[in-house]
Amino acid sequence: MMDKREAYRVILLLGVVSLLGDVVYEGSRGTIPEYFRYLGASAAVVGAITGVGDLLVYFSRFLGGYLADRTRGYWALIFLGYGLILAIPLIPLSEILGLGWALAAAVWLLERFGKGIRTPSRDTMISFAAESVGGGKAFGIHELMDQVGATLGPLFFAASIALFRNYRDAFFLSAIPYALLMAALVYTKSRVKLPAGIASLGKRESSEPRSLSKRAKAYIAAAGANALGLFPVSLILYILAETPEVNALGAWFPPALYAAVQLVDAVAALALGLLYDRFKLNVLFLPFSLSILIPFFALQRGFAPVVISALLFGLVLGSQESVYRAAVGDLTDPSVRATAYGFFGGALGLGAMAAGYLYGLMVDLNAPLWLGSLYVIATQAVSLALLLYVVKTR
C-alpha cells in the first residue's frame, strides 16, 4: 500500500489528465453530429455512426481490461488510449481532402476505441491509490476533476466556433489541449511510481487462475440491471423541449439544465464518495433506489417533474462515476481488477443502450405512465436484490 501523499499524487495527476482529455473529446461531442451533417451525412447515418461508436467503447473496455490483467502493461494502454484522442483534431482532414463524412467517421471511431482501451487500466491504478485514502474519496475527486473538463470542453468549442465561424478551425484548435494532455501524461508517468500492489502482480506465475468472485459477478450484474432501468438524460431533455414552458423560455433552457445535471453529478460524486468510505456498499442502495423515481417524474411530461427527473439523474450519474467504480475495486482481487473494470463498463454501457431504446419507444408511442413504472420497478428490483446479495454475502 502506498503512502497517502503518493496516493493523492496519483489521483490528482490522473485527474488532470482526464480533465484535459475531456476538454478535447467531451468538448467535441456536441459539435460532431452537426459537423457530420455539414459533411453530408444524413440523420440516419449520424445515428448509426454514434451507435457504432458507443458499442466500440463498450466492447473495447472488455479488451482493455483483459489486456491489462494479462500483460500488466497499464501505462502502455493508458498512453495508447489517450494518444488516440489525437483523432479529434484530425477530423477536418476529411473536409480538406474532399472525402466527405466517411473519413471523419473512421477517425472519430478511433477515439472511441481509445476511450475503451484506456479506462480499465486508469481505474485500476486509481483503485490501488484508493487503498490508502478510501475508494469513495479517490473516485469522487477524480470524477469532480473529470466534470470540470466536461464543462470546459463544450465552452472551448463554442468559443472557437464563434471566433473562427467554422467547425474546421475549432477542431484544429483542440490540438492545443491535446498537446497539454500528452505533456501531463508524460509528467504523470515520470512522477508516479507503479503501485507496489500492481508491480508485484507481474512477478506472479502466468498460470495463476484468473477469475472474478461470485460477489464481483453479482455486483457487475446489479450495476448492469440498474443501468437497464435508468431513464436516460437525452430523453429527459427531449421531453423537456416539448413542454410549453420551454417553448416560452427559449431553446437555451435544455442545455442550461444539462449543465445543472453535470454540476449535480460532480457534487454527488464527491459527497457520496466520502459517505462510501464510511458506510461502504450500503451507500449504493441510495442511487439504486432513486433510479426508480426518474421515469416516474419524466413520463409525466410536465415541466417541473421533468426538471426533477433531470436532477435525480445527475445524482445517479455521479454515483456511477464514483461509488459504483469504487465498489469494483473493493470486490475484486488485484490480479483480475482491470478485467472487472472492463466487464463493469461494458455492463453499464449495454444496459444504458437497451434502456435508451426501450424508453425511447415508450416516449414515441406515448406509453402510459404505469408501463414505464412497471418496467423500472422490475429492473431495479433485480438490481436491488443482487446488491442485497453482495452486501449480505462475505
Name the amino acid, one letter, at 195: P
Do 146 and 68 fall into the same domain? yes
Question: Is 206 inside a domain boundary?
Answer: no
Output the pLDDT for position 207: 45
CA distance 229 to 373: 10
Do 188 and 219 fall into the same domain? no
Do 375 and 272 fall into the same domain? yes
- Residues 132, 1 contacting (CB under 8 angstroms): yes
3-19 pLDDT tens trace: 788 889 989 999 999 99
CA distance 133 to 136: 9
Question: Is 27 inside a domain boundary?
Answer: yes
Question: Is 16 inside a domain boundary?
Answer: yes
Cell 420497478 sits on residue? 377
Mean pLDDT, the chain, rounded, equals 88
CA distance 362 to 280: 36
Out of 201, 236, 258, pick the residue that ends a domain.
201
Check whether 121 has a pLDDT greater than 80. yes
Question: Is 209 inside a domain boundary?
Answer: no
Kindly report the three-state secondary structure assignment for every residue of 174-213: CHHHHHHHHHHHHHHHHHCCCCHHHHHHCCCCCCCCCCCC
And the C-alpha cell for 51? Answer: 451507435
Residue 167 sits at the vertex; the CA angle it makes with 164 and 169, to the nearest 5 degrees, is 55
And the C-alpha cell for 181? Answer: 494532455
Do 275 and 353 fall into the same domain? yes
Domain that holds residue 380: 214-392
267-296 pLDDT tens trace: 999 999 999 999 999 999 999 999 999 999
Do 386 and 240 fall into the same domain? yes
Residue 63 sits at the vertex; the CA angle it makes with 191 and 47, to the nearest 5 degrees, is 105
Do 156 and 269 fall into the same domain? no
CA distance 114 to 57: 8
Check whether 209 has a pLDDT greater than 50. no
Do 193 and 255 fall into the same domain? no
Do 156 and 300 fall into the same domain? no
Name the amino acid, one letter, at 142: H
Output the pLDDT for position 316: 96
Do 196 and 259 fall into the same domain? no
Out of 147, 175, 201, pick the residue that ends a domain.
201
Backbone phi, psi, residue 69, to 5°: -75, -30
Do 60 and 90 fall into the same domain? yes
Do 160 and 233 fall into the same domain? no
- Residues 185, 78 contacting (CB under 8 angstroms): yes
Question: Is 298 inside a domain boundary?
Answer: yes
Count the domains in the chain.
2
Do 176 and 230 fall into the same domain? no
Cell 442550461 sits on residue? 256
Lowest mean pLDDT among 86-100, 206-220, 256-270, 276-290: 206-220
Question: Is 207 inside a domain boundary?
Answer: no
Question: Is 180 inside a domain boundary?
Answer: yes
pTM of full prediction above 0.85: no
Out of 201, 227, 260, pick the residue that ends a domain.
201
Q: What is the CATH number of the domain that holds 259?
A: 1.20.1250.20
Question: Is 359 inside a domain boundary?
Answer: yes
Output the pLDDT for position 176: 95
And the C-alpha cell for 349? Answer: 454501457
